[in-house]
Amino acid sequence: MAFCSDDALLTQEQAIFTALQAEVRYSLVGDQLRISYDDGRQALVYRSQP
């Protein structure tokens, strides 16, 4: 069950769940967390807010 009503948010949410269910690697550099998946061909990137 999804709690988002916006299609763009639903797509983003699905990408996150797909990535986290796959074999992943992550790196933390400065204020950026990068979660790589799909043999490094795709990544989720998060940055901290000031």
Whether 29 is in a domain gets the answer yes
Range of the domain at 49: 24-50
In a domain, 38, yes or no: yes
The pLDDT assigned to 14 comes to 87
Place 28 in a pLDDT band, splitting at 50, 70 and 90: very high
Q: Answer for the pair 27, 34: CB distance below 8 angstroms, yes or no.
A: yes
Residue 33 in 3-state DSSP? strand
Indicate the pLDDT class of residue 3, thresholds 50, 70 and 90: low
Give yes or no for a contact between 2 and 13, defined as CB atoms under 8 angstroms apart. yes
Nearest-angstrom CA–CA distance, 31 and 33: 7
As for how many domains the chain has, the answer is 1
**Structural domain contains residue 12:** no
